[in-house]
Amino acid sequence: MESKIAGAIGLKYNPVAILLAAEKPDDALQFKKGKWGCVMFMFANAAKGKTAAFDAQTYGCWGGGVGLGFGNTYLRFPGGVECFAHFLSSGNARWERGREVAKSVGDAAGKAFMENFLEGEGYVKTPELVEQWLGEIPMREIKSGYVLFKPLSEIDPQREKPETVVFLADPDQLSALVILANYGREGMENVTIPWAAGCQTIGILPYREAKSGKPRAVVGLTDISARKYVRGLLGSEYLSFGMPWEMFLEMEGNVEGSFLERPTWRSLRASRP
């Protein structure tokens, strides 16, 4: 499927369709069982034309398992949810349970992970606020065996129905997507920018929007850890813009006759480097 939106805003990378599937394509990229990896690294590869697959044993990291819909995989974090709450905030070095877990993990975790485990990533001020945030994350247990990332151009809408479609957009393109998301709707808040991991802003958060009475698009890749991992593949200027499938179709249907065919957008696009 070719996207009218992608053509109108001049996307550099493929829009990525996220699907639930019973089987995976033979040529799909996939993390090795039990090995760490960033889901957004696979997303970047899908934006560049490849297909990636994940299952309940190959989601890469704990946040990735949550983001893709494999349940509360933070329970599998060393020391469980309590240690994760300290990891994301102030660190585990200052409480007894955290220090005990650090000793049991030892060198197997790697130097960078252990430094963050002990001192904290500092993304949230306190462990208590992390636990409050976890209560808001719309965790789910998918019923399919696999989550797939595929270039939208390889999707046949007659046979496949993606959960989510995600664009990689620079500031000009993101501006156009925000306008288009609001173009045919009441209200001015049809796009949201939640605080979450990069994979969660393309996975479970758009999944949740699809179930709401008024689904919104979700801006993501504001996760600086994910940005660090994908910069070498994509460059530094992009954010993600994910939307439920039905919203994507709605926006596709609104391209013709919209500002995307008017002089202001066309002149802005023409003046881009």
User: Mean pLDDT throughout 183-188?
Assistant: 96
> Would you give the end-to-end CA distance of the chain in angstroms?
28
Question: What predicted TM-score, i.e. pTM, was given to this entire model?
Answer: 0.94
Instruction: Give me the percent of the chain exceeding a pLDDT of 70.
Output: 99
pLDDT in tens, 135-170: 999 999 998 899 999 999 999 999 999 999 999 999
pLDDT over 80 at 109, yes or no:
no
pLDDT at site 34: 83
**Mean per-residue pLDDT of the chain:** 96
pLDDT in tens, 6-56: 999 999 999 999 999 999 999 999 999 988 999 999 999 999 999 999 999
